[in-house]
Amino acid sequence: MRFVIISILFFNSLYACSVCYGAPDDPAVKAAQAGILFLLGVVSFVLSCFALFMYNLSKKSQEF
């Protein structure tokens, strides 16, 4: 309940950061976008390695 009252009182100071609310050409926005793309690349690499590992396991189990 306190949080609601405090956020109502200080509503004008609760703006989004420049990355979420600012100009799209800001360097911080470009850095955040690059970070998101990098993390997507890492996640897709790990998932593809896991899928390849499972594929290899299934191939080896069919050989026996």
| Domain extent listing, the chain | 2-63
Of the pLDDT bands very low, low, confident and very high (cuts 50, 70, 90), residue 14 is low
What's residue 24's pLDDT? 75
Rounded Cα–Cα distance for residues 34 and 27 (Å): 10
Mean per-residue pLDDT, 5-23: 66
pTM above 0.85, yes or no: no
Q: Within 13 Å, how many C-alpha atoms sit on residue 38's CB side?
A: 6
Q: Within 13 Å, how many C-alpha atoms sit on residue 56's CB side?
A: 6
Joined together, the tokens standing for residue 45 give 């690499």
What's residue 54's pLDDT? 97
The answer to whether 21 and 15 have CB atoms below 8 angstroms apart is yes
The larger pLDDT score, comparing residue 33 to residue 1, is at 33
The larger pLDDT score, comparing residue 22 to residue 5, is at 5
Rounded Cα–Cα distance for residues 44 and 36 (Å): 12
